Amino acid sequence: MLLRVIRHYGRPYLPLVFAVVVLQLIATIAALYLPSLNAQIIDEGVARGDTDYIWSTGGVMLTVSFVQVAAAIAGVYFGSKAAMAMGRDLRRGIFHKVTGFSAREVGQFGAPSLITRGTNDVQQVQMLVLMGLNFMVMAPIMCVGGIIMAVREDLQLSWLVWVSVPLLFVVVGLLVWKLMPLFRTMQEKIDGINGVLREQITGIRVVRAFVREPYEAKRFEKANRELTDVSLSVGNLFVLMFPSIGMILHLATAAVLWFGGLRVDAGDIQVGALTAFLQYLLQILMAVMMGTFMAMMIPRASVCAERIGEVLDVEPSVHEPAKPEAAREPAGVVEFRNVTFAYPGAEVPVLRDVSFTARPGQTTAIIGSTGAGKSTLISMLPRLFDAGSGDVLIDGVPVTRMARTDITDRVALVPQRPYLFSGTVAHNLRFGNPDATDAELWEALRVAQGDGFVRAKDHGLESVVSQGGTNVSGGQRQRLCIARALVAQPKVYLFDDSFSALDVATDARLRAALKGTTKDATVIIVAQRVATIIEADQILVMEHGQIVARGTHEQLLESSETYQEIVNSQTAVEEVA
Amino acid sequence: MSPDRETQSELAAGPDPVTAPTPAAAAEAEAEILEEQFQPGEADQDFMTGTPVRKAQHFWPSAKRLFGLLKPEKASIALVLAMVVVAVVLNVIAPKVLGNAMDVIFNGAIGMNLPAGASQAEVIAGLRAQGQDQFADLLSGMELVPGVGIDFQLLGNLILLVLGMYVVSSLFMWLQGWLLNQIVMRVVFGLRRDVEAKLNRLPLNYFDTRQRGDMLSRVTNDVDNIQQALQQAFAQLIMSALSLLGITIMMFIVSWQLALIALIALPLSAVGAGLIGTRSQKLFTAQWKHTGALNGHIEESFSGHDLVRAFGREQQSVEQFDEKNDELYKASFGAQFVSGMIMPVMQFISYLSYVGIAVVGGLRVASGSMTLGDATAFIQYSREFNQPLSQMAGMANMLQSGVASAERVFELLDAEEQEPDTATETLPAKTDGHVEFHNVSFSYTADKPLIEDLSFSAAPGQTVAIVGPTGAGKTTLVNLVMRFYELDAGRITLDGVDITALSRAELRSKVGMVLQDAWLFGGSIFDNIRYGNLDATEEEVMAAAKATYVDRFVRALPDGYDTVIDEEGNNVSAGEKQLITIARAFLANPSLLILDEATSSVDTRTELLVQHAMAALRSDRTSFVIAHRLSTIRDADVILVMEDGKIVEQGNHATLLAAEGPYYRLYMSQFAAAADPVS
């Protein structure tokens, strides 16, 4: 998956990657050339006492160093460009994909998980690519180049390369291989201890109320002990790493001196070649080490790439029609025809064979216990979901054949979870109609019973709203969400349990005010409180995904047992009727 | 959370904003947790990796205290240090010995080509006579026997010596690392335990006034940071500094002329690193800023995905994203490029000194004033010179970050604790539940008095309903009974005993509490109920579940009582969670009860069950109910009507209605409206 993601998103930057490889090649060859030049200084210059030669070779070394740094910097330039551009494209790919998702796909992953995938996970993959371009390209070149140079200096000594490189590889690889699962366990234990603490802090009142401090301390002690144990194991392995690497390097050095000495004594090689060989061997070993360390990043990035791939692979269940039907004069007639809907993998459909019509100027209310499928039902109008079978029509046209803009022009949703975007009050209210005037905003606020508290704020419409709307109370948030829908002036209003955070009196005032504003529109209300829907023109009673009864309040009181049950439960709770 | 001043009518839905955690607060906590991951950036960054580095406020005192944590391990630390010194010294001397080995080879290589029998002096004289002055100069600096090849006896000895040195130093390196690991883990384990214990001694208002995310991060991220600093920065810094010193000394011993060349590289590196560092730090700040902005947009668009779709704002959202994404690309490309330049530039400088040493060294060897072995030893020294330098830079960053973290942890450890328990009195196992407030005054902040001179009495078995608008102090009142906060004046008694004379544990074990925020921990439903009484048998737990209507829905769950409640727990609804908290309180079997009735987004039939369960819980116990339901209020023995922290009226439903005072007005605005929705 990691390869697939990198291949796909790296393709446009192949020329850059190619440039990086070429530049790294140049830089590495230059770096490898230096010890060879140094050897020449010793063999040709020093051993013969030729100072002119020393000077001129020094000049060559200087030039080579310049070439090296220039190539390396240019390599970093193209490498960063390619990696960052790829990261950008990957983020864009995910964002565009998710924007096209329906509520079903978002629900499948969960918004927080999608956020992590679009931010953190991309970051990880991007870092791997960057490091890879900066170092991982260099390591094999260095390794191969070093081996070639070393062999060139003395073929007979090259067995030292064949012994030491695999040895280092095995030792470092073994340690890394042992460490990897431990790192994962450590992360789990860290999550564990964080979990215990989070619960202690969020539940501090309950912990104290039940005098469970000792119990919690024990729980924490256990998590702490587990984390410490695994950290100890990690640490104990980790401290082996550098001494053992060092030992291998030193052994190799000693071996080169001894066996090289033998070869020098036999007159097979010169002393300079020996020093060059030594430096090449060290360079090779460094490259192997670097490559192995880099390899440690791969598993983590793979997991991230996997998670990214999952998002990219999902086909949205809601498609835009290729040829949308021409829009008719908007009226706002909503019709459900034998609509059935099931979540993927679920045995029982959430909605079964639902049919009803909601007309302009009428209020249609939907009531029923949680999980009865009410929210899913109205989510089908703005196509957050599509029906599994059956049709959802607006003004006689199935929503699946309408252009998105035609739908969004007609329908406005007030969601169950009142959500506001960061920005100002005005910015949020204009969400559904960017051209609305301030006067229109105030009017919407007045109807939504929100003008009072907005006016009381220091900056009125320009007051800042934090992300999610966490800086206003739940009731205020709900009223702003209602106002937002009003500003859009749609033909169809969808209120998904949108009055729950309002007290009964505000609820009543709001509905009274709404009546005037929405008198020509189709209003569909999902509600828990009977009081909210008592005046609706038709009430749909839902249970287990089906409409079990429909009619007005009075009719239903007569005819529907389920409705009576609901009303009675509320009477007991609220003493409404 | 801003209390809604404009309307007093959120009684039915809004929890008290003063203390009760609201869904908004929960969302906030969520956001905080996300924020932690992204670390948006005012902070400084490590210029190599771009990770933000926290800066300490008072570096030295905090650093001192941080290392003070190691004090109990003094002897072991001394041992670690001793091993580090030995390892470093051996490591520093070894290249010189290697150089000597190289000399032996070189001497042999030159010597074996000279005529045997003559002495070194004779050969040199002969060379000079032939006009080969340069070669003669070279030989004059060597120790060789003409005609004899490499002295393998000597070479072998030197190699064995150097290997021995490396073995010992590696062994010591490993040992000190291992030992340090044990020490640090012990210390960090203790630190975590201390911090957790501290949390339990902090007064509740400490938690009210701080962000949860911040506190969590102190106990987790910051402690981790400390661990790293102690484990790596500590030993490495000492090691690097010692190596640096040792290498410098050795370089001067071998050749002061070459040492000077090598040292020239030092200021050059510093300037190079400094120039690039400052530049890249600025760019990283920009990168983190743009990352934060983009992540914010992603977070918001994905969280509000339904709305973006429903209002047809995809286009705008995508456009905004592309713009921010592009800005981030530009910023991060700049940051990565500039910071990526550091490595090649440093390498270049080290190459410069390498070339310098090769040339000057070569000239000096050729002139006989230096041996070849010394020159090669020098090259190795100059290479090793750069390593501790860059290590120290990295470690300094890590240490700085560690000290800053330590400071934050110490801040928590130093926070003022709640008053210690005096526990001069005890109550019998079964209390009557007679609660009295005597002239109680209380405020969260000194300048804003909340409850003033409040007195009332709740007789055993009575239900006390507390009503009033949001922010009137209802939650505060019941918190005071739990002694979550200390009074400013007056006293509260339980069965005639001042609650401050009891231990908190004893007081609270007499009181059961069901909060509006249904807090359950990540465990099975069974364990969550049993939290109320850890000694309860399975039958007792089941009985409590049955009495509080938990049993009914649990039986319908596939895993029954083993169903695990987790954060995404969609299997258990909010109302059902509340039922579980009621079962938990039921199992605790307290003599005094505190209930918060507010429920929101619970379907009415579940809510009815909640009502029944609460009623079952209340029977035969003194109960304080933050009441939102007319039925509860009407049936209460005493109704306390609160406004602005004062009890403005008390009595029962009938008498208060008849009085046509604040209660009457509240009743008319709240419940009359409900009865007639078109009012």
B437: contact with A, CB 8 A cutoff: no
Any residues with CB less than 8 A from the CB of B400 and at least 6 apart, and which? B53, B54, B55, B56, B59
Chain A residues near residue B583 by CB distance under 8 angstroms: none
Interchain proximity A197–B219, CB inside 8 Å: yes
**Residue in chain B lying closest to A485 (CA):** B311
State the maximum Cα–Cα separation within chain B, in Å, rounded to a whole number: 134
Token code pair at residue B131: 């006009």
DSSP A82-121: HHHHHHHHHHHHHHHHHHT--HHHHHHH-HHHHHHIIIII
Quick one: which H or E segment has residue B458? strand B451-458
Interchain proximity B170–A244, CB inside 8 Å: yes
**What b/e string do you get for B128-150 counting C-beta neighbours within 10 Å, with b at 16 or more?**
eeeebebbbbbbebbebbbeebb
B358: contact with A, CB 8 A cutoff: yes
- AA identity, residue A366: I
- AA identity, residue B438: H
Interchain proximity B302–A106, CB inside 8 Å: yes
Which CATH code is given to the segment(s) A334-574? 3.40.50.300
Higher per-residue pLDDT: A339 or A368 = A339
Higher per-residue pLDDT: B50 or A172 = A172
Chain A residues near residue B177 by CB distance under 8 angstroms: 235, 238-239, 242-243
The pLDDT, as a whole number, for residue B180 is: 92
B668: contact with A, CB 8 A cutoff: no
B151: contact with A, CB 8 A cutoff: no
SS3 annotation, B368-425: CCCCHHHHHHHHHHHHHHHHHHHHHHHHHHHHHHHHHHHHHHHHHHHCCCCCCCCCCC
The H-assigned helical ranges of A314-386 are 374-379
The β-bridge relationship of strands B511-514 and A492-496 is unpaired
Q: How far apart are CA B242 and CA B263, in angstroms?
A: 16
The pLDDT, as a whole number, for residue B326 is: 95
**What b/e string do you get for A443-473 counting C-beta neighbours within 10 Å, with b at 16 or more?**
bbbbbbbbbebbeeeeebbebebbbbbbbbb
Residue A426 CB-half CA count within 13 A = 15
**Residue in chain A lying closest to B331 (CA):** A84
Token code pair at residue B276: 């690039």
Distances (CA, A) of A196 to B30, B219, B631: 16, 11, 39
Q: How far apart are CA A69 and CA B103, in angstroms?
A: 33
Instruction: Work out the pLDDT band at B36, boundaries 50, 70, 90.
Output: very low
Any residues with CB less than 8 A from the CB of A188 and at least 6 apart, and which? none
Higher per-residue pLDDT: B185 or B58 = B185
Token code pair at residue A446: 């007045």
- How much of chain A, in percent, has pLDDT values that exceed 70? 97
B98: contact with A, CB 8 A cutoff: yes
Q: How far apart are CA B82 and CA B303, in angstroms?
A: 56
Contact (CB, 8 A) for A384 and B306: yes
Nearest-by-Cβ selection for B137 from A42, A49, A411: A49
Beta bridge partners of B308: none
Residue B284's SS3 state is: helix
CA B278 to chain centre: 27
Quick one: which H or E segment has residue A546? strand A546-551
CB neighbours of residue B441 within 10 Å: 15
What digits encode the pLDDT tens for the residues A418-462? 888 888 999 999 988 889 999 999 999 999 988 888 888 888 899
Q: What angle do CA A197, B445, B474 make, to 5 degrees?
A: 75
Instruction: Work out the pLDDT band at B331, boundaries 50, 70, 90.
Output: very high
Residue B389 CB-half CA count within 13 A = 20
Higher per-residue pLDDT: A562 or A89 = A89
The β-bridge relationship of strands B489-494 and B646-651 is unpaired
Interchain proximity A87–B673, CB inside 8 Å: no
The pLDDT, as a whole number, for residue B218 is: 81
Q: How far apart are CA B512 and CA B591, in angstroms?
A: 8
Sign of CA dihedral A526, A527, A528, A531: negative
**Residue A250 distance to chain B (closest CA, Å):** 7
Interchain proximity A505–B669, CB inside 8 Å: yes
Is the pLDDT confidence value at B52 over 60? no
Residue B576's SS3 state is: helix
Residue B18's SS3 state is: coil
The mean predicted confidence, pLDDT, of chain A is 86
The pLDDT, as a whole number, for residue B493 is: 92
Higher per-residue pLDDT: B410 or B30 = B410
Residues A54-72 have a mean pLDDT of 91
Selected residue of B325, B336, B499, B634 to mutate for chain A interface (largest A Cβ count, 10 A): B336
B57: contact with A, CB 8 A cutoff: no
| Residue linked to tokens 């205290």 | B65
Interchain proximity A452–B6, CB inside 8 Å: yes
- Give the residue among A454, A192, A129, A26 at the shortest CA–CA distance from B523: A192
Sign of CA dihedral B42, B47, B49, B53: negative
Is the pLDDT confidence value at A483 over 70? yes
Contact (CB, 8 A) for B561 and B524: yes
Higher per-residue pLDDT: A48 or A514 = A514
Any residues with CB less than 8 A from the CB of B263 and at least 6 apart, and which? B248
Token code pair at residue B624: 């304080």
Instruction: Work out the pLDDT band at B27, boundaries 50, 70, 90.
Output: very low
Contact (CB, 8 A) for B587 and B533: yes
**Residue B550 distance to chain A (closest CA, Å):** 17
Instruction: Work out the pLDDT band at B167, boundaries 50, 70, 90.
Output: very high
Higher per-residue pLDDT: A84 or A209 = A84
DSSP A511-560: HHHHHHHTTTSEEEEEES-HHHHTT-SEEEEEETTEEEEEE-HHHHHHH-
CA B546 to chain centre: 41
Nearest-by-Cβ selection for A506 from B9, B34, B185: B9
- How much of chain A, in percent, has pLDDT values that exceed 90? 25
**Residue in chain B lying closest to A193 (CA):** B220
CA B457 to chain centre: 45
Is the pLDDT confidence value at A371 over 80? no
Instruction: Work out the pLDDT band at B669, boundaries 50, 70, 90.
Output: low
Chain B residues near residue A258 by CB distance under 8 angstroms: 155-156, 159
**Residue in chain A lying closest to B347 (CA):** A69
Interchain proximity B344–A80, CB inside 8 Å: no
Nearest-by-Cβ selection for A92 from B322, B345, B675: B322
Give chain A's end-to-end CA distance (angstroms, integer): 61
Nearest-by-Cβ selection for B215 from A201, A404, A411: A201
Instruction: Work out the pLDDT band at A82, boundaries 50, 70, 90.
Output: very high
Higher per-residue pLDDT: A435 or A297 = A435
| Residue linked to tokens 């005609």 | B147
Chain B residues near residue A415 by CB distance under 8 angstroms: 306-307, 310
What digits encode the pLDDT tens for the residues A194-253? 888 888 887 888 888 888 888 889 999 999 999 999 999 988 998 898 899 889 988 988
Selected residue of B211, B221, B359, B676 to mutate for chain A interface (largest A Cβ count, 10 A): B359
Is the pLDDT confidence value at B569 over 50? no
The pLDDT, as a whole number, for residue A26 is: 92
The pLDDT, as a whole number, for residue A360 is: 92
The pLDDT, as a whole number, for residue B23 is: 35
Which CATH architecture describes the domain A1-153+297-317?
Answer: Up-down Bundle (1.20)
Is the pLDDT confidence value at B35 over 60? no
Any idea which of A450-454, B14-18, B207-211, B297-301 has the lowest mean pLDDT?
A: B14-18
Chain A residues near residue B531 by CB distance under 8 angstroms: 206, 210, 212
Interface of B with A in 528-557 (CB under 8 A): 531-532, 534
Interchain proximity B675–A575, CB inside 8 Å: yes
DSSP B616-646: HHHTTSEEEEE---HHHHHH-SEEEEEETTE
Instruction: Work out the pLDDT band at A538, boundaries 50, 70, 90.
Output: very high
Nearest-by-Cβ selection for A505 from B365, B532, B673: B673
B513: contact with A, CB 8 A cutoff: yes
Q: How far apart are CA B673 and CA B652, in angstroms?
A: 21
The β-bridge relationship of strands A423-424 and A464-465 is antiparallel
The pLDDT, as a whole number, for residue A66 is: 93
| Residue linked to tokens 């009546």 | A515
The pLDDT, as a whole number, for residue A83 is: 93
| Residue linked to tokens 């073995």 | B167
**Residue A36 distance to chain B (closest CA, Å):** 12
Any idea which of A212-221, A369-378, B179-188, B542-551 has the lowest mean pLDDT?
A: A369-378
What digits encode the pLDDT tens for the residues A319-359? 888 888 877 788 889 999 999 988 776 667 888 899 999 99
DSSP secondary structure code for residue B566 in this structure:
-
Contact (CB, 8 A) for A241 and A249: no
Interchain proximity B629–A574, CB inside 8 Å: yes
The pLDDT, as a whole number, for residue A429 is: 92
Is the pLDDT confidence value at A568 over 80? no
Contact (CB, 8 A) for A332 and A521: yes
Chain B residues near residue A495 by CB distance under 8 angstroms: none
| Residue linked to tokens 């939504």 | A448
What digits encode the pLDDT tens for the residues B403-455? 888 888 998 899 888 888 877 888 877 788 889 999 988 887 777 777 888 88
Token code pair at residue B508: 């609270």
Exposed/middle/buried for residue A577 (C-beta within 10 Å: 0-12, 13-18, 19+): middle
Interchain proximity B150–A210, CB inside 8 Å: no
Interchain proximity A41–B359, CB inside 8 Å: yes
Residue A547's SS3 state is: strand
Instruction: Work out the pLDDT band at A35, boundaries 50, 70, 90.
Output: confident
What are the phi and psi torsion angles at A432 (to 5°)?
-90, -10
Is the pLDDT confidence value at B322 over 90? yes
Q: How far apart are CA B321 and CA B98, in angstroms?
A: 60
Interchain proximity A257–B671, CB inside 8 Å: no
What are the phi and psi torsion angles at B178 (to 5°)?
-65, -50
Instruction: Work out the pLDDT band at B598, boundaries 50, 70, 90.
Output: low
Instruction: Work out the pLDDT band at B178, boundaries 50, 70, 90.
Output: very high
The mean predicted confidence, pLDDT, of chain B is 79
